[in-house]
Structure formats: C-alpha cells, structure tokens
Amino acid sequence: MSVHWFRPIGLILLSLGLGSLSIGCTNQVTTSQPAAQPGGITLPDMAPAALLPSPSATPNTIAGLLKTWPRYQSPQAGFSVAFPAKPQEETSRVPTEVGPAEVIMLRYQDRPAKRFYLFAHNRFPVPAGTGLDVVKALDASRDSIAKGISAKVVSEKPLQQSGFQGRDLELSRTGGFAARVRIFYANGIWYRAIVAAEDGKLKVPQVQAFFDSIQLMSPTEPRKPNTAPAQSNPSPTGTPRP
C-alpha cells in the first residue's frame, strides 16, 4: 500500500480522530488550500520539497537533524514543531452537531524514504455547560484513527506532553504499512502528530526527531470554539535553528 493514499479525505480521517466521539461529525468535509493573506500561515522561502534530496539522507542523529530542520510555531494555536522540509498546509472545516470544527494540517511527504509526516490541530467543539472526559476522548480518537486507516493498534502508551495528557500509539496493517501517532488535548485544542511509513520502518532517527521537536504551550490568542474560525497563524522562528 503506497503512501499516495494520503489525499484530503484520507488526511482528515487520519488526523481528525473525532468520528467516534459523542459529538458526531457528518460526512460533509470541505478542504481548501488557503491563499496568502494577513494573519495567514507563513513558511520559510525554501525550494519545494520535490526538488530537494531526501532529508532522511543526512545527518543521522536526532540532535543533528533538529539543527537543520525548519521549525514552525503558532502562538495562537499553542505549538511548535520541526519538519524535515517545508510542509504543505491544508485547512478543512468539518461540520459537527455543535458547530464547525476547523482542522489545520501541516504535512510533508518524504518520497525517497517512503514516509509521511503530519501535524494537525483543531479546537474541540464542546457544547456549552458540558465538560470533556479527556481519557474517553483520547480512547475515541485512537479508535477513530485506527478505523480511518484500516490499521490495528499494536502499541499504546500514556504520556505527558508539556504537562498535558496524551497517547503514543503505533499502528500497522498488512502489507508492511505502519504509523506512529501522538494525540494530545491541551487548552481546548486537539493536536495530532503522525508519521506513516510505507515500509513499516518507524525506528529511525527522523521519526523520533519529529516527535521530540513538538512543544505545546498556552495559546496567546486562542480561537473561540463553535464560531466561524479564523485562519491559524503559524510562523517560522526564522531559518532552521542554529
């Protein structure tokens, strides 16, 4: 099974992880490539990834990789993360029973290494006057992701990311495909970090570097849930970290 299956609908099924929660999502999904605009996402001026050699080539240590990978941060969405090369951005709006959920996705496909990297986040629409059982929501997100890619959870560990509850998962399916997933809920936002490997090779420095690079923080200007969301505004901290 090729990683080319990661088309917009597949991306949403993989990244959203909301399908089996009590707050249901409909099957109507809108995906768009945002135009440049004030407050829009800003990425470093780099050559398209397709024109670059595979970032999986060198260096081969986690520390070395994180010195060369571009890092992105979004104070509004409360995260920063490093990718092997410039990722693409997609924005999807998914209708729910309590209002639209806007999913912001950053994705990069390393074709020579047969790996796919994704970081997604969205405000979780919780009805007024109700709370969220984070443990149950993490369970439901896990199950929804596994179902969305027809994979089996082979490893699951609870973890704390920047003091917030999360899960570290490994999934696999016949044909050698495997994926590693981290799910977090912090400050009213769902975060999903995913690396999928067509050949099943996840025990490599590049995969660990991606997950090690993730930092969560308190959003400076969190968007309000259940309203027409504004554009997320990640911006690079500059050139790749020295």
Distance from chain centroid for Cα 147: 17
Q: What is the pLDDT of residues 52-104, one digit of tens each?
A: 445 545 568 999 999 999 998 888 888 999 999 999 998 888 776 666 778 89
Q: Indicate the pTM of the whole model.
A: 0.70
Distance from chain centroid for Cα 87: 11
Q: pLDDT-based confidence at 123, cuts 50/70/90?
A: confident
Residue 1 confidence (pLDDT) above 50? no
Sheet holding 71-74, edge to edge: 215-216, 79-82, 71-74, 235-236
User: For 76, phi and psi rounded to 5 degrees?
Assistant: -65, -40
Residue 166's pLDDT is: 93
Fold classification of 3-21+55-228 is: Protein Transport Mog1p; Chain A (3.40.1000)
SS3 140: helix
Q: Domain extents for the chain? A: 3-21+55-228
Residue 171's pLDDT is: 96
Distance of CA 169 to CAs 1, 147, 184, 202, 211, Å? 20, 14, 12, 12, 12
